[in-house]
Amino acid sequence: MKIIEVFMYGGGLILLGLVIYIVFASRRTYKEAKSRQIKIDWALTQLERALEQTTSKEETQVLAGIQCLSTLNIAEIRFQALRRLDDLTEHEDPLIAKYAESAMVRLSKSAAQSECPSPDSR
């Protein structure tokens, strides 16, 4: 009988440890997801502002919008930023077109670095 009791208590302790691990892992995952959502919400706000700036008639506003678009390196919104930058590369103002092209290159490079880690970082 004693051996069965030892196995039952041992099994109970293992299950309790497993439950505690699952609770902590779930809490950590929730915090990470919440933090990520806050970053995405902020980036969406910045994207809306930048898109509005890039439709302005003032060159300085357009350049500020391009600068903002080039810094938005979150996968969920990168496509919209690149699409608008691509449109701006054909802008009638050569300065705006040049800035848009360089911003696309910067955004593409930073996206490639964030998605493809170097062999040294593994």
Q: Which residues contact 92 (CB under 8 A, 6 or more apart)?
A: none
- Provide mean pLDDT across the span 32-54: 92
Alpha helices, DSSP H, located in the chain: 2-54, 59-71, 75-88, 94-115
pTM for this entry: 0.67
- Is the pLDDT at 50 greater than 90, yes or no? yes
The gap between the terminal CA atoms of the chain, to the nearest Å, is: 51
For 55-86, how does the pLDDT look when each residue is reduced to its tens digit (9 = 90+)? 988 999 999 999 998 888 788 788 888 889 99
Amino acid identity of 6? V
- Provide mean pLDDT across the span 92-111: 87
